[in-house]
Amino acid sequence: MKFVILATLVAFTAGLVLPNIPAKLSGQALTEYVNSKQSLWKASIPKSISLEQVKRRLMNTKFVAPHADEDILVREEIEAAAIPDSFDARQQWPNCQSIGNIRDQSDCGSCWAFAAAEAASDRFCIQSNGTVNTLLSAEDVLSCCSSCGYGCEGGYPIEAWRYLVKTGFVTGGSYEAQFGCKPYSIPPCSETVGNITYPECPEDGYDTPKCVQKCTNANYNIAFKDDKHYGATAYAVGKKVAQIQAEILAHGPVEVAFTVYEDFYQYTSGVYVHTSGEELGGHAVRILGWGTENGTPYWLVANSWNVAWGENGYFRIIRGTNECGIEHAVVGGIPKV
């Protein structure tokens, strides 16, 4: 049965990735082409985010590639019968506030820090059986991890998890909520959140926030050093689907990096498969589950482009074919609780 499914997937995706697909299409022409060539997902031009903003939110594809020096944890593959057909971390751990939380990275290539802070928040809650139920700060690792990369210009996801082990993350939520010790300092762009409409972002995006070793939220009453949450381990996960699923089942959502093409910006709903459009850069996100729709297996993924994009901030992408490289650079870690 496994070989039949694999053969079906290969044949299916081969039928979508046709030779001589025009990569130069953009805007409405790209929308119409994508929607005419496949029926797995719907494309449209989002009202909440521009293509130029998307480009500024991405990072160089060098940050997407797996690194030879990563400590790879390859979990033993569990029997296929033990892996459920569908899984949603939001339903499995409903009391963990971070798992269903969608953030907004704004016009800064901080996705690597966001996905790390989000998945780590999930894992602290899961590992502690809900005792540590908080939101960890993307700003803390974005601005202060010198070994992670280049801040708003991109960073290495595995280094964010290593920073969690060595230095720790303080708490901090979105700009809008101003939660925790060090909430995000970059406002959303042209978004209306909680009856507040935020102005357009600078034409060239935002610079990396300055690193400060103190809480920036004046209303937070826990000392910076006492607010730190530390990881016990940081590692890459095996590339096989069953290994990724086993990791999520055991410890919660994972961080992944993949290559973004122009048609992904136009994703509205359904199971994404790259169909056309130019390569834009790399992006890090959080996988929190999987399922099947009309026979097509998919990963359930949380993005960091606010709730107005995609499926209320989430997207689904075909599972089992390493679409856009999403299965080849999975990282995570075990919290110290």
DSSP-derived secondary structure for 173-211: --TTTT-SSS---SPPSS-EETTEEPPPPPTT-PPPPPP
Which of 144, 133, 136 shows the shortest CA–CA distance to 119?
136
Any idea which residue has 């339903």 for tokens?
A: 91
Query: 218 is written with which tokens?
Result: 């004046």
Give Cα separations from 51 to 58, 64, 139, 182 (angstroms): 11, 20, 24, 29
Residue 111 annotated to the active site: yes
Which of these is catalytic: 274, 283, 306, 324? 283
Look at residue 327 and give its three-state secondary structure.
coil
Note down pLDDT in tens along the chain; length 337 residues.
333 344 344 444 433 444 455 668 889 999 999 999 999 999 999 988 899 999 999 999 889 987 666 666 655 555 656 899 999 999 999 999 999 999 999 999 999 999 999 999 999 999 999 999 999 999 999 999 999 999 999 999 999 999 999 999 999 999 988 999 999 999 998 777 777 788 888 888 899 999 999 999 999 999 999 999 999 999 999 899 999 999 999 999 999 999 999 999 999 999 999 999 999 999 999 999 999 999 999 999 999 999 999 999 999 999 999 999 999 999 999 999 9
CA distance 175 to 237: 31
What are the φ/ψ torsions at residue 28 (nearest 5 degrees)? -65, -30
- Nearest-angstrom CA–CA distance, 318 and 120: 24
Residue from 111, 189, 215, 324 carrying the catalytic annotation: 111
Q: What is the CATH number of domain 2-335?
A: 3.90.70.10
Q: Are 166 and 233 in contact (CB under 8 A)?
A: no
Catalytic member of 101, 217, 303, 306: 303
- State the Cα–Cα distance between residues 283 and 256, nearest whole angstrom: 8
pLDDT of residue 198: 83
Residue 303 is among the residues annotated as catalytic for this protein: yes
User: For 302, how many CA atoms within 13 A lie in the half-sphere containing its CB?
Assistant: 28
pTM for this structure? 0.91
Residue 81 DSSP class = G
Q: Is 233 helix (H, G, I), strand (E, B) or coil?
A: strand
Parse the chain into domains and list their residue ranges: 2-335
Q: Is 215 considered catalytic here? A: no
Q: How far apart are CA 207 and CA 186, in angstroms?
A: 9
275: left (phi over 0), alpha (psi -120 to 50) or beta: alpha
Task: Report pLDDT digits (tens) over 198-225.
Answer: 888 888 889 999 999 999 999 999 999 9
Cα separation, 334 vs 17, in Å, equals 38
- Residue range 23-32, pLDDT digits in tens: 688 899 999 9
